[in-house]
């Protein structure tokens, strides 16, 4: 790149590269080589970017010294803005048209909107940043969009458990688990080499009633000798109050559905 690149242009490009790669360490040398400037100039730019991010509550810039060091962007949410977003989501999810036969709530259209999925994924990721997970695990299919965005925010890969394993993916591990309704036994599978022994894994799912599906994913992690380091869900049901898991983060709580009046009671989790 032209060595005469303006500092403002250089900072703009650095911000783009950092925010496109959250939680990933980028070396100062890579910036220095890209812009053909001294590392000292890059360091000054980083200080300025750090100040900007702090002022506008975008996130933090973490600098690590040493041979394997560098700089990385740690996203952080704006609590007031996040609360407002979740409240508006509750209004949308409370619409009568979203109530389906059997008391089920239709929301897949929202999860597959990239901007919504990214916002929710980054909110969930904020609870696990300090734990520096090696992977995010979810169950197909509905949880995939927000789990993928959570993985992006955490700077790690997404692994998907399946009900029907694909033979083309190689050796698998399969376990049986009790369904969310607790009325039948189901199975889930995971590719054997997708998570390594000792890796730290965060579980993400779209909805939790009793916690049966998440309990199944926990069993998968046990089989793979991985370390469970947190669980996050978009919506948790208030009923049953007692879940089969106790340690989890939920963005929204579904208090109940009245099929006769077609009222949906959903709120931001306190």
pLDDT confidence bin for 131, thresholds 50/70/90: very high
Domain that holds residue 238: 79-268
Mean pLDDT of the residues in the chain: 93
Do residues 59 and 83 share a domain? no
Q: How far apart are CA 43 and CA 28, in angstroms?
A: 8
In a domain, 104, yes or no: yes
Q: Helix, strand, or coil here: 146?
A: helix
In a domain, 196, yes or no: yes
Q: Give 16-30 pLDDT, tens digit per residue.
A: 999 999 999 999 999
Do residues 61 and 102 share a domain? no
**Can you give the pTM of this predicted structure?**
0.92
Do residues 126 and 213 share a domain? yes
Q: In this predicted structure, what is the pLDDT of residue 67? A: 73
Q: In this predicted structure, what is the pLDDT of residue 1? A: 53
In a domain, 2, yes or no: no
Considering only CA atoms, which of 90, 144, 85, 158 is closest in space to residue 119? 85
Interval 179-201 mean pLDDT: 89
Do residues 127 and 231 share a domain? yes
CATH number of the domain that residue 134 is part of: 3.40.50.2020
In a domain, 117, yes or no: yes
Q: Give 231-245 pLDDT, tens digit per residue.
A: 999 999 999 999 999
Percentage of the chain surpassing pLDDT 70? Answer: 97
Scored b (16 or more CB within 10 A) or e, 136-165 reads bbbbeebbbbbbbbbbbbbbbebbbbbeeb
Do residues 39 and 105 share a domain? no
In a domain, 21, yes or no: yes
Q: Find out whether 34 and 26 touch, Cβ atoms under 8 Å.
A: no
């Amino acid at each position: 790149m032209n060595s005469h690149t303006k500092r403002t242009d250089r900072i703009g490009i650095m911000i783009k590269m950092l925010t496109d790669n959250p939680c990933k360490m980028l070396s100062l040398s890579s910036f220095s080589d890209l812009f053909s400037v001294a590392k000292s100039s890059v360091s000054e730019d980083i200080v300025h970017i750090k100040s900007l991010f702090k002022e506008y509550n975008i996130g933090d810039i973490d600098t690590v010294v040493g041979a394997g060091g560098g700089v990385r962007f740690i996203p952080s949410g704006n609590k007031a803005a996040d609360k407002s977003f979740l409240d508006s989501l509750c209004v949308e999810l409370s619409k009568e048209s979203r109530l389906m036969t059997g008391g089920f709530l239709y929301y897949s259209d929202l999860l597959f909107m990239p901007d919504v999925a990214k916002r929710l994924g980054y909110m969930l990721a904020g609870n696990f940043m300090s734990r520096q997970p090696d992977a995010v695990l979810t169950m197909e299919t509905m949880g995939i969009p927000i789990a993928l965005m959570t993985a992006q925010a955490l700077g790690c890969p997404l692994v998907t458990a399946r009900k029907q394993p694909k033979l083309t993916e190689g050796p698998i591990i399969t376990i049986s688990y009790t369904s969310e309704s607790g009325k039948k036994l189901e199975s889930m599978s995971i590719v054997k080499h997708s998570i390594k022994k000792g890796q730290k894994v965060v579980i993400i799912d779209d909805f939790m009633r009793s916690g049966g599906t998440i309990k199944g994913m926990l069993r998968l992690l046990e089989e793979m000798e991985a370390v469970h380091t947190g669980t996050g869900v978009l919506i948790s049901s208030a009923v049953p109050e007692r879940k089969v898991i106790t340690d989890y983060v939920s963005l929204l709580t579904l208090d109940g559905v009245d099929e006769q009046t077609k009222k949906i009671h959903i709120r931001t989790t306190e």
